Structure 1
Amino acid sequence: MRLHVGCAQWTHPAWPQPPRAKLASYASWVNAVESNTTFYGIPARSSVESWAAQTPPDFRFVVKLPQIITHERRLNDIAAPFHAFAAAVEPLGLRNHAMWVQLPASFAPADLGILDAFLRGAPREHRYAVEVRHRAFFDDPRAAAALEQLLLRAGAEWVPFDTLTLFGQPATSLAERDAWMKKPRVGRRTVALTGAPIVRYIGRDSVPETVAGWEYLVELVVGWLGEGRSPTIFLHTPDNVEALNLARRFHAAVRELVPTLGTLPEPVSVEPPTLF
């Protein structure tokens, strides 16, 4: 029984990290990460080899497919870039927990045939997790059911991005205002389709408000663990200053209710720089 927790990035100016091996330092705090950098281009294989070398075997990467696949070509005629991407991230091995298919907000229920064809033809050695942002998938039960059935047939997971806490009150900081402009306003999902559900949760700059908003998610994860599932939860805030601490705090909250849950690693201390 294992719960993986992490953040949307593995480095932040506010986090205590050494100048080098920042990923290794991050991996001493939590056991998963969203690989958002891969959205902007296929990484060099040497870079991915470094990622693998800095993380333990049970660390989880959820690697986002490059935008050329999901946004520019919208899953059409993507055999070449997909295989190039899969080859680039191959050094992660089992650390590559899922290929994250984040689709643009314009990807509507009418486009489900394209997603179905992609998942049918995708290499089976990878797990796939799909994130949609079109409001119809959350507001129209028929559209939601159609997507669920498609994903179930493919053995893929639906990745919800829970933004309700973020939008629960007016923005009070520049970071929250920026998040209000960029993050999707979609309904909350609490259904797991596979044994490895993934949830992205974004709170607010206020730690108490963020913690209060995730109470339902703690209970949900406890239930999933009881069903034998192995969830991965990513904790965000608008500025992400406290995200690393919040991820550990979330894990601790679940462990209070599931004492048999494995522990997170002990963070590596970062010594202040010296002159000698």
Structure 2
Amino acid sequence: MLSEYGQIFNTVEGNTSFYADPKPDTIKKWYQAVPEDFKFTFKIPRRFSHDMALQYCQDDLKVWLDLFSPLFPKIGQVMLQLPKSCSPEYLHRIEKFCALLPEELNLGVEVRHLGFFDKGNNERSYNQFLMKHNYNRIMMDTRPLFSEIPNTEAVIDAQAKKPKVPLHVIATSNAPIIRYVGTSNLKDNRAFYKPWLNKIRLWLEEGKTPYVFFHTADNYDAPLLARQFIADLGLDHNVSLPFPAEKEAKQNSLF
């Protein structure tokens, strides 16, 4: 499935690494399954960010980095997803943990405590920290999801699990990450992501490399949402569209 995916998309949000470590043989298979220009974006395990609260994990983190080192040439970013309980008072702890990561890995950081969205000193200090070290602030756009009436099991479950945080758009480094959680009606998403189209075009003109990941409540229509977005982006240069016509029937069976 990853090989088929890599023929269409050029990156993937590696969520499984958040919960469990793969075997070394699996790492090798992942490397071989995708093209040379494909970029993985793996989440740093939750045992560091949630269970250990970013403390006393240097040795364990080194083991994890050694495990993934064969994939480093194809890793676009690693993603540090912090729990809602991680408030601005722990910024120093975040800084110390991030300093343990090798400079060759780009880093994106996702915060969920509302203190990081206060448009005051807390958020300013956080953004300055990210910019100083060329870390990317991950932007979670869940507005479309929470605009829906929770009348299906998938939407109810997604609204219970996804964070409802303000959307503050800022590129703190050269590879901003957008995690977009769409509404179930594909066309209704256009009103929500229209501002993103101009922002992404601007970032590309500035030489940035934005990462955009699409989700829906059950993720069944996420590939179709990605195709619609890319078509609406309408770039002039060569961008491969998800689900070319000759592959659409085959690929739909994968999701």
Higher helix fraction (1 or 2): 2
1:30 touches 1:248 (CA, 8 Å); kept in 2?
no
Pair 1:183-2:166 in alignment: no
- RCO greater where, 1 or 2, for CA within 8 Å and sep 6 or more? 1
Hey, what's the Cα distance between the residues in 2 that align with 1:221 and 1:50? 32
Query: Can you give the 5+ residue segments of structure 1 that lack an aligned partner in the other structure?
Result: 1-21, 272-276
Whether the 8 Å CA contact 1:165–1:202 is kept in 2: the answer is yes
What pairs with 1:4-43 in structure 2 (closer than 5 Å)? 22-43=1-22
Choose 220-229 or 168-177, whichever is displaced more.
168-177
Paired residue for 1:199? 178
2-structure distance, mates of 1:215, 1:78? 41
Give 1:119 shift: 2.0
For the pair 1:166 / 2:145, whether they are aligned, the reply is yes
In structure 1, the partner of 2:58 is 79
- Following the alignment from structure 1 to structure 2, what is the Cα–Cα distance between the partners of residues 121 and 27? 30
Q: Gaps spanning 5+ residues in structure 2: where? A: none
State the partner residue of 1:263. Answer: 240
Instruction: Give SS of 2:250's match.
Output: coil
TM-score (norm 1): 0.85
Displacement of 1:264: 4.2
For 1:260 and 1:106, the matched residues in 2 are separated by: 43
Deviation, structure 1 residue 98: 0.9
Give 1:117 deviation, angstroms: 1.2
**Count of residue pairs brought into register by the alignment:** 249
Structure 1 residue ranges (4+ consecutive) displaced by more than 6 angstroms after TM superposition: none
Quote how far apart the aligned CAs of 1:140 are: 4.2
Within the candidate set 101, 108, 128, 1:122 is matched to: 101
Change (3 A) 1:28 1:211: farther
Question: 1:8-157 maps to which residues of 2 (within 5 A)?
Answer: 22-157=1-136
Is contact 2:138–2:179 with CA below 8 Å preserved after alignment? yes
Tell me the secondary structure at the aligned position of residue 78 of structure 2: strand
Distance 1:85 1:250 in 2: 35
Distance 1:107 1:126 in 2: 23
Instruction: Tell me how far 1:189 sits from its aligned partner.
Output: 2.0
Taking only aligned residues, the RMSD between alpha carbons, in angstroms, comes to 1.9
Name the amino acid aligned to 1:270: K
Aligned partners of 1:31 and 1:60 also within 8 Å: yes
1:214 aligned counterpart, secondary structure = helix
- 1:218-229 to 2 correspondences below 5 Å: 218-229=197-208
TM (norm. structure 2) is 0.91
Displacement after TM superposition at 1:182 (Å): 1.0
